[in-house]
Amino acid sequence: MQYRRLGRTDLDVSLICLGSMTWGRQNTEAEGHAQMDLALDRGVNFIDTAEMYSVPVTAETYGRSEEIIGTWLAARGTRDRVVVASKAVGPGSRFAHIRDGKPRLNREHLTRAVDDSLRRLRTDWIDLYQLHWPERSVNSFGKLGYVHVEDEEATPIAETLGVLGDLVTAGKIRHVGLSNETPWGMMSFARIADQAGLPRPVSVQNAYNLVNRSFEVGCAEVAIREDMGLLAYSPLAGGWLTGKYDGGARPAGARMTEFADYFQRYGGEAGQAAIAGYVALAREHGLDPARMALAYVNSRPFLTSTIVGATTLEQLAANIDSVDLALDADVLQGIEAIQARWSNPCP
């Protein structure tokens, strides 16, 4: 395993981060525990979750992924060996079951969110606490262009950071991270934190994969210059870049088989054409498509860790093996040619 420094902290995290959003929905508690056992044995010391997980989100499975991590930590006694990251939800119409049904990034909501996550995780502290998405309207979750909303109400960034600072002082969280953020958001959080002596974000968790490299346009420079490295989620584009959906195949238990209506980010015509191109490129060079896709993400200079999710131990082991693959010049040239033809078709 390879390790990279998490922002300006004293923590070194594994290049592969174990994602947990399937635990409690597609995976049982026992399967989640087995995945964590395997990952830890292979040198993965970084686990990412969120209060809203499992996914797809429901009131019944809210917090279940955190609970599964909590029972594993308690059963294995491994708390000091892993870096645990979680996230607080922002506003959204899907979350009538969370707090008062109108989650915000203010003192009341963040304090309750952290306390509830600590209880489910069965731990006294969370190493990295992230804002799952901003309160303001941003061009994330399938939107490439920014559309401004006048007179939009949102908790001021200084207020949010102030609450997070108090939670750091209380020892409930160690570090702060962002997610689904923009260059303006990343820089604003860093500037306000520096000016007010508040916790500075150490990472940003955004989607990044071969069919969505929009992070490179503005966020990548911020990530490097401000030591706010990317935690890349969806590096396999929801499984599409593995090639397992080729020719309309829908394997039993797969995400697009079970929840196709929920995950539509990668289903467009241009996206499907680009995905087919990347899968074909990998096979042309004798590479496993998933391993190639992950190796590309792993190699980016603005990246801190690649978040992988799996429903089987075999998938997880293969994903972890991607750290050993260095793509040669011909493969990289082929990737850039496909990117030039279908540029960021699945933002």
For the annotated catalytic residues, the residue numbers are 53
Q: How many CB atoms lie within 10 A of CB 167?
A: 23
Peptide bond connecting 301 to the previous residue in cis, omega within 30 degrees of 0:
no
Residue 123 DSSP label: -
Q: Which two tokens mark 6?
A: 């998490």
In angstroms, the Cα distances linking 6 to 2, 34, 72, 130, 131 are: 13, 26, 24, 13, 16
Give the integer Cα–Cα distance in Å for 71 and 16. Answer: 22
Q: Whose structure tokens read 């306000």?
A: 192
In sequence order, the β-bridge partners of residue 231 are: 205, 305
Give the integer Cα–Cα distance in Å for 113 and 88. Answer: 6
